[in-house]
């Protein structure tokens, strides 16, 4: 008696699932968020360009609050035709005031971020929450760094006079802002370009 040997039937192979994210599949909530926040960020960019003088006054007011509470100095904020001027000192009176010009304001760094974020939200394919998170963190870092720079200038000027002002304004302050701008840009690019596990799962068919 002979027995024929039949090979075991192979299981049909399943089609490989694509792991490439498909950014075009944006939920309705994401499209609504992008449609609302995109124009708002473009409007913020326009405001920072057109109304940068008002923004500088608000920024200097924030520096005045930090100087008063963190350094314990008496302060006085005055308006000049070109820029807000902050005076600070102790019981002996005020020293030389520092002016916040357009070139020293964080508006010049935040406006391009707002423009890029608004364009990405309206015409890009990235997740809106990630673009907004990147903008908020990057802009917050730039604002905090500039407020810290202004506070440092006031502190060094109050302690060392014109020499302290020169060193912190020309050297330390410039290095601080360049580093903050670079870190903010890298953080923004990292957040909007990285692919998460959720993106991969959403992109799978």
pLDDT band at 95 (very low <50, low <70, confident <90, very high): confident
Half-sphere exposure of 204 (CA within 13 A, CB side): 9
Beta carbons within 8 Å of 119's beta carbon, 6+ residues apart:
38, 42
**3-class secondary-structure state, position 66:** helix
Sign of the alpha-carbon dihedral angle for 191, 196, 199, 205: positive
Q: Between 202 and 110, whose confidence is greater?
A: 110
The CA angle 34-40-45, to the nearest 5 degrees, is 120
**3-class secondary-structure state, position 6:** coil
Highest-confidence range of 79-83, 118-122, 157-161, by mean pLDDT? 118-122
The mean per-residue pLDDT over the stretch 9-31 comes to 56
The CA angle 104-106-111, to the nearest 5 degrees, is 125
- Pairwise CA distance, residues 150 & 148, whole Å: 5
- Pairwise CA distance, residues 27 & 46, whole Å: 29
- Pairwise CA distance, residues 158 & 169, whole Å: 13
pTM, to two decimals: 0.79
CB contact at 8 A, 86 and 118: no
Q: Between 78 and 5, whose confidence is greater?
A: 78
Model pLDDT for residues 35-71, shown as the tens digit of each residue:
999 999 999 999 999 999 999 999 999 999 999 999 9
9-13, 77-81, 93-97, 129-133 — which is least confidently predicted? 9-13
């Amino acid at each position: 008696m002979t027995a024929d040997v039949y090979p075991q039937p192979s299981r049909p192979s399943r089609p490989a699932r694509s792991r490439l994210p498909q950014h075009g599949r944006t939920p309705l909530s994401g499209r609504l968020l992008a449609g609302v926040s995109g124009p708002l960020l473009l409007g913020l960019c326009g405001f920072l360009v057109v109304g940068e003088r008002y923004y500088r006054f608000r920024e200097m007011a924030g520096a005045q609050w930090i100087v008063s509470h963190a350094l314990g100095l008496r302060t006085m904020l005055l308006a000049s035709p070109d820029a807000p001027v902050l005076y600070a000192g102790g019981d002996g009176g005020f020293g030389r005031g520092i002016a916040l010009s357009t070139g020293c304001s964080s508006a010049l760094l935040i406006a391009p971020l707002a423009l890029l974020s608004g364009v990405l939200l309206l015409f890009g394919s990235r997740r809106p929450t990630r673009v907004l998170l990147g903008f908020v963190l990057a802009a917050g870092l730039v604002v905090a760094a500039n407020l810290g720079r202004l506070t440092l200038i006031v502190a060094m000027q109050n302690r060392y006079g014109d020499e302290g002002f020169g060193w912190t304004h020309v050297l330390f302050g410039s290095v601080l802002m360049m580093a903050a701008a670079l870190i903010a840009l890298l953080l923004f690019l990292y957040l909007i370009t990285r692919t998460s596990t959720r993106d991969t799962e959403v992109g799978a068919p």
